[in-house]
Chains A and B, each alone.
Chain A
Amino acid sequence: MSGALILLATLGSSLLAAVIIFLLPERAFRARTGLNLGAALIKLGLVAWMVWGLSRGGEYAVEFPVLEGLAFVLRADPLGIMFAGLSSLLWLFTTVYAIGYLEDSPNRKRFFGFFSLCVASTLGISLAGNLFTFLVFYELLTLSTYPLVAHRGTAKALAAGKVYLRFTLTAGLVLMIGMVALHALAGDIRFGQREILAEFGPERRPLLVGLFWVLIAGFGVKAALVPLHGWLPRAMVAPAPVSALLHAVAVVKAGAFGIVRLVYDVYGIELSDALGLLNGLVAVASVTILYGSLRALAQQELKPRLAYSTVSQVSYIVLGIGLFGPLGTIAALSHLLHQGLMKITLFFCAGNYAEELGIHRIDELDGAGRRMPLTSLAFTVGALGMIGLPPVVGFLSKWYLGTGAIQAGLPWVIAVLVASSLLNAAYFLPILARLWFRPGPDHGVGAWPEERRLGRLETHAWLLVPAVVTALFSLMAGVLAGMPFSPLEWATGVANAEYLP
């Protein structure tokens, strides 16, 4: 198969799945499940093939002109394929989880159709070869996630959908204006053509700085940078697999990935440094990290606490981008992967508690470790990783961020990291304590809010397995960080090959 065909097949697998799901009748449960899993596996296989092909020097690119001097470009480069690998792997788990989670609920056809569309957009984002193509899929992601956020059709869900749209559509417009202005200034910039902007004379510098911040504002909404994060906690009303998708696989990641592309592939890290843009990014990221952690501490319910934790954790990526030097780059790229693994575990577990026991508030979790040991173990792994304890991967991210800060000559960032870790501990450790050490209904104290016996295991197998597997992945990615194709090695490889002076 030629490179272009594989690329299109990767994108088309979930697009086609979406179309067929829309055509299938609502009751065709088995066909839909098979289609979902089949498409996820095919996509994962194709991405793996491209990884293998890239490592042997293969080329995967498609392009055709859309306008005079502007092309639609899909290209698999190491960074893009890294993100594609993450999203297709996590999509597989999320699909399995969603099939279990939505069993017997209405409107599954609509849900899974848009779900597939959403992943197709994420893959498009990762494989986009220029800003125009990126924008196409970025906006498609907005559109395809709206029906998922508003899925339940309750007043609260519809209101959350409204807020989500207000934020993301406005951001999309800001992004579009920035991109059009950049296009008018410099023409069609392919990702990786860093020299185009670097060659502009000093009189254009202020314009470039202005455009950079316009584009960051556009990306920052999806990446949930403070003060543009307002939509994320409200979107918590969506079903748990959607939360996993929003927080770990697609939406916030798309924003963060956009910033990565902008800094490393369009402006170039040296130009960004020369224009003084990186310090601004570090400042924004530090504020977001601390603010997100503080707000997380104040939440009494599980999912909002996790949501604010996402606000804080995604900014680690932005922080890493802002730290000029190889270590900062590695930290940013590897945390893109690590955060996805850990956060998806946490959301799966939160969903399991809610489905099996009806638990939404943190103080209802007392003693849940005895009732649902595997889920609670997975949650513990994710939470410890977020705090940054070895050997979970979160430790590696923080280690590289810290050393990167010293390399970039910004030692005060370490204080931010320490403060953030303490805050992380302050909002995660009490949960772990409740899970394992407080007596609960299984010890004969009180009762679960709404207990359902969903399966022979502690809960439905389709819900349990993804949570446990992603937790294992988080653990293994940390323990086996030195092995080839571990997220860290991969990020290091990408950083060394492409982005370092």
Chain B
Amino acid sequence: MSAPLASPPATEAALLWLVLLVPPLLGLLAWRFPPRRMLPVLLAGLPLPLATLWLLPRVAGGAVLEGSWAPGGLQLHWRLDGLAGLLLLLTQLLLLASAAYAVGHRRATELAERAFAGFWPLLGGLAAALGVIWVAADLLTLYAALELMGLTAVGMMLLPGKPEALAAGLRYLLYALVGSLAWLLGVALLLGATGRLDLAGLAADAEAGPVTGIAMALLAAGLLLKAAVFPLHGWLAPVHASAWTQVSALHGALVVKASFFILMQLWQRLVPEAQAAAWLLGALGSLAVLWGGLQAWRASRLKQVVAWSTVGQLGYLMLAFPLLAGTSAAVASLAWQATWLQLAGHALAKAAMFMAAGNLVLSVGQSRLADLAGTSRQLPLSLMTFGLAAVTLMGLPPSAGFTAKWLLLQAAILAGQWPWVIVLVAGTLLTAAYVFRVFRCAFVEEAPRHDFRPLPAGMDLIALLLALAALALGLGAEWPLALLREGGLP
């Protein structure tokens, strides 16, 4: 990649690209020499979030780092604002946690050496793809990053090599490929109508009309499919059933969110005033909340509960669309903050929950809920982590989920959009129902005792730290939200 052409301070731009491109290199290194201990992984990865932390004050107060380069006459743009910076930080922390967890997972189970080595370059690729998605500012870069993300995610899902994993991965692959074709068709229409691909230019040039609308619909269809939004969620739960824990954690926490992020970016630039369509998305989100919650409640295996919970929780994010379309500035600001806080809180909590569930399943050696009996005595830490993560998912204080719910409720009440209040209530109660179902199983005292397999302490610790981070984000929401507010909507 050639050097940036535009004006931002060279140090910052260079550092940003370093942060984006180092993970794949580290991944390749780890492929050649798979790590055996958690500490080297943490030490190697730690400079990345630190660098992002250094960059964040430079995009505070609504400042933006942006630039472009032109390989072969093609103008490509990038842009780092407060939101992108925060998401980048979140991504790096979660990737780091997942990498460290993977090392522990390797020690606790007998994995094929080759499959374990293959995890690392895929992780590096995923890191690069996600980073580029947060900062990309044109449709071509977004397309390439989106595809890289999808393919690395599929690859990671396939690593266990079991027949169920293969079948589920193949289904995911087919869905993802078709989703990206819908996206490409949308891009084709936009390119035909305006002749440009950069987001800023599109926002200025695209006229509200049928072509923009249909293009947006196609883009949205592709992205909703990749984000597993109801009713296009069918591929999600089977994929998680057989994937490795650290992969499920990353997928549920980040990969589906990236599609949502792109959708939100495009929506705000192309059709910010389309109320009917926004309400349709909100309605889909509501159905997702209800359906995902019901399925999680009915699921009989622990990982299925967590996977279906992702479907439900993504629905909350979709409520942002109707609250942003044609509402007052106050409502829009509240909804905007609520959405990203919910996204971050859910990402941390869902990763923690997948890891805690993975630890429970690994220790017990069984994956059914009924087999959890006695874990409250034998595996209190894993169960506690599961509970702390669940606090965020339920939106109970003091957690990011709670603060986000407060903001969402306030936005919905101020805007007079009462249906979403009902959805939030129903979603919370359903979440509580499936979470406490798990706890009821774990609290049962009279049950046959399994042999509990001991796990490396780090595995529980990582999950616990993530869950605590999700809690801390609840009362400490002011710092990230201030960054978001100053940046404002695109």
Kindly state whether residue B429 has any CB partner on chain A within 8 Å: yes
Whether the pair B376, A135 counts as a contact (CB closer than 8 A) is no
Kindly state whether residue B436 has any CB partner on chain A within 8 Å: yes
Whether the pair B436, A162 counts as a contact (CB closer than 8 A) is yes
How close is B342's CB to chain A, nearest CB, in angstroms?
Answer: 13
User: What band does the interface of chain A fall in when counting residues whose beta carbon is under 8 Å from B?
Assistant: 35 or more
Residues 126-152 of A, flagged 1 when their CB comes within 8 A of B and 0 if not, give 000000100111011011001100101
The 5 tightest CB contacts between A and B, nearest first, are A153-B445, A136-B397, A180-B409, A153-B443, A65-B478
Of the residues B333, B377, B440, contact of A107 by C-beta under 8 Å: B377
Interface of B toward A, CB cutoff 8 Å: 333, 337, 376-377, 380, 384, 391, 396-398, 402-403, 405-407, 409-410, 413-414, 421, 425, 428-429, 432, 436, 439-440, 443-446, 474-478, 481, 485
Whether the pair B445, A140 counts as a contact (CB closer than 8 A) is no
Query: Closest residue of chain A to B331, judged by CB?
Result: A184
Whether the pair B475, A184 counts as a contact (CB closer than 8 A) is no
Interface centre among A136, A142, A152, A170 (most CB of B within 10 A): A136
How close is A2's CB to chain B, nearest CB, in angstroms?
Answer: 21
What A residues does B485 contact at CB under 8 A? 68
Q: A66-B475, A67-B406 are contacts. A172–B445 as well, Cβ < 8 Å?
A: no
What A residues does B333 contact at CB under 8 A? 68
Whether the pair B477, A161 counts as a contact (CB closer than 8 A) is no
Interface centre among A136, A142, A153, A165 (most CB of B within 10 A): A153
Cα A172 to Cα B391 in complex, Å, equals 14
Of the residues B409, B432, B476, contact of A169 by C-beta under 8 Å: B432
Of the residues A109, A165, A176, contact of B380 by C-beta under 8 Å: A109
Q: A22-B384, A143-B391, A169-B429 are contacts. A161–B445 as well, Cβ < 8 Å?
A: no
Q: A22-B384, A158-B440 are contacts. A139–B397 as well, Cβ < 8 Å?
A: yes
Kindly state whether residue A173 has any CB partner on chain B within 8 Å: yes
Of the residues B380, B428, B475, B481, contact of A72 by C-beta under 8 Å: B475
Cα A68 to Cα B384 in complex, Å, equals 32
How close is A110's CB to chain B, nearest CB, in angstroms?
Answer: 6
What A residues does B445 contact at CB under 8 A? 106, 152-154
- Which residues of A (23-81) have their CB < 8 Å from a CB of B? 64-68, 70, 72
Q: A173-B425, A177-B409 are contacts. A165–B481 as well, Cβ < 8 Å?
A: no
Whether the pair B477, A66 counts as a contact (CB closer than 8 A) is yes
How close is A200's CB to chain B, nearest CB, in angstroms?
Answer: 17
Query: Closest residue of chain B to A106, judged by CB?
Result: B377
Whether the pair B377, A67 counts as a contact (CB closer than 8 A) is no
A-B contact pairs, 19 of them (CB 8 A): A66-B475, A67-B406, A68-B333, A68-B485, A70-B406, A72-B475, A110-B376, A132-B406, A135-B397, A139-B396, A140-B397, A153-B443, A153-B444, A158-B440, A161-B443, A162-B436, A165-B436, A180-B413, A183-B410
Of the residues B384, B398, B405, B429, contact of A140 by C-beta under 8 Å: B398
What B residues does A137 contact at CB under 8 A? 397
Kindly state whether residue A181 has any CB partner on chain B within 8 Å: yes
Cα A64 to Cα B482 in complex, Å, equals 14
Cα A153 to Cα B375 in complex, Å, equals 12
Cα A72 to Cα B432 in complex, Å, equals 25
Whether the pair A67, B376 counts as a contact (CB closer than 8 A) is no
Whether the pair B410, A169 counts as a contact (CB closer than 8 A) is no
Q: A162-B436, A181-B413 are contacts. A66–B396 as well, Cβ < 8 Å?
A: no
Whether the pair B478, A66 counts as a contact (CB closer than 8 A) is yes
How close is B170's CB to chain A, nearest CB, in angstroms?
Answer: 41
Whether the pair B396, A143 counts as a contact (CB closer than 8 A) is yes
How close is B349's CB to chain A, nearest CB, in angstroms?
Answer: 15
Query: Closest residue of chain B to A157, judged by CB?
Result: B443
Cα A261 to Cα B164 in complex, Å, equals 57
Q: A64-B478, A68-B485, A183-B410 are contacts. A158–B432 as well, Cβ < 8 Å?
A: no
How close is B411's CB to chain A, nearest CB, in angstroms?
Answer: 9
Other A-B pairs beyond A153-B444, A161-B443, 13, CB < 8 Å:
A67-B337, A68-B481, A106-B377, A106-B445, A136-B398, A142-B396, A153-B443, A154-B445, A172-B396, A173-B425, A176-B405, A176-B406, A181-B413
Cα A146 to Cα B428 in complex, Å, equals 17
Cα A170 to Cα B398 in complex, Å, equals 17
What A residues does B398 contact at CB under 8 A? 136, 140
What A residues does B436 contact at CB under 8 A? 146, 161-162, 165
Whether the pair A176, B409 counts as a contact (CB closer than 8 A) is yes
Query: Closest residue of chain B to A179, judged by CB?
Result: B406
Whether the pair A180, B429 counts as a contact (CB closer than 8 A) is no
How close is B186's CB to chain A, nearest CB, in angstroms?
Answer: 35
How close is A129's CB to chain B, nearest CB, in angstroms?
Answer: 14
How close is B345's CB to chain A, nearest CB, in angstroms?
Answer: 13
Whether the pair B478, A67 counts as a contact (CB closer than 8 A) is yes
Cα A150 to Cα B376 in complex, Å, equals 12
What B residues does A162 contact at CB under 8 A? 436, 440
What B residues does A136 contact at CB under 8 A? 397-398, 402, 475
How close is A105's CB to chain B, nearest CB, in angstroms?
Answer: 11
Cα A354 to Cα B77 in complex, Å, equals 75
Whether the pair A161, B413 counts as a contact (CB closer than 8 A) is no
